[in-house]
Structure 1
Amino acid sequence: MDITTLCYMEKDGKYLMLHRIKKKNDINEGKWIAPGGHCENGESPDDCVKREVMEETGIKLNSVRFRGIVTFYSKAIADNRNDLYEDEAENPLSKDITDYMCLFTSDDFDLSGAVDENGQLMDCNEGVLDWILKDDLTKLDLWKGDLIFLDLIKNPQQPFFSLKLTYEGDVLTEAVLDGKLIDLNTI
Structure 2
Amino acid sequence: MEITTLCYIEDDGKYLMLHRTKKKNDINEGKWIAPGGHCENGESPDDCVRREVLEETGLTLKSVRFRGIVTFYSKAAAGDRDELYTKEEKSPFSNDVTDYMCLFTSDDFEGTLISCNEGTLEWVSRERIPELNLWKGDLIFLDLIKNPEQPFFSLKLTYEGDKLTEAVLDGKVIE
Shift of 1:80: 2.5
Kept after mapping to 2: 8 A contact 1:19/1:30 = yes
Q: In the alignment, what sits opposite 2:36?
A: 36
Match of 1:167 among 149, 155, 159: 159
Shift of 1:78: 7.8
Q: In the alignment, what sits opposite 2:136?
A: 144
Shift of 1:84: 1.1
Whole-angstrom CA distance in 1 between matches of 2:36 and 2:146: 19
Identity %: 76
Q: In structure 2, what residue type is equivalent to 1:161?
A: F
Structure number with bigger Rg: 1
Decide whether aligned partners of structure 1 residues 79 and 41 sit closer, same or farther in structure 2, where only a CA change above 3 A counts: closer
Deviations 1:143-187 (A, max 9, x none): 00000000000000000000000000000000000000011xxxx
Match of 2:122 among 130, 133, 155: 130
Kept after mapping to 1: 8 A contact 2:59/2:111 = yes
Relative to the length of structure 2, the TM-score reads 0.94
Deviations 1:115-170 (A, max 9, x none): xxxxxxx2100000000000000000000000000000000000000000000000
Off by >6 Å, runs of 4+ in structure 1: 89-92
Relative to the length of structure 1, the TM-score reads 0.89
Q: In the alignment, what sits opposite 1:70?
A: 70
Q: In structure 2, what residue type is equivalent to 1:157?
A: E
Correspondences of 1:173-184 after superposition (within 5 Å): 173-183=165-175
Whole-angstrom CA distance in 2 between matches of 1:54 and 1:148: 26
Q: Which runs of 5+ in 2 are unaligned?
A: none
Q: In the alignment, what sits opposite 1:81?
A: 81
Decide whether aligned partners of structure 1 residues 63 and 26 sit closer, same or farther in structure 2, where only a CA change above 3 A counts: same
Q: In structure 2, what residue type is equivalent to 1:52?
A: E
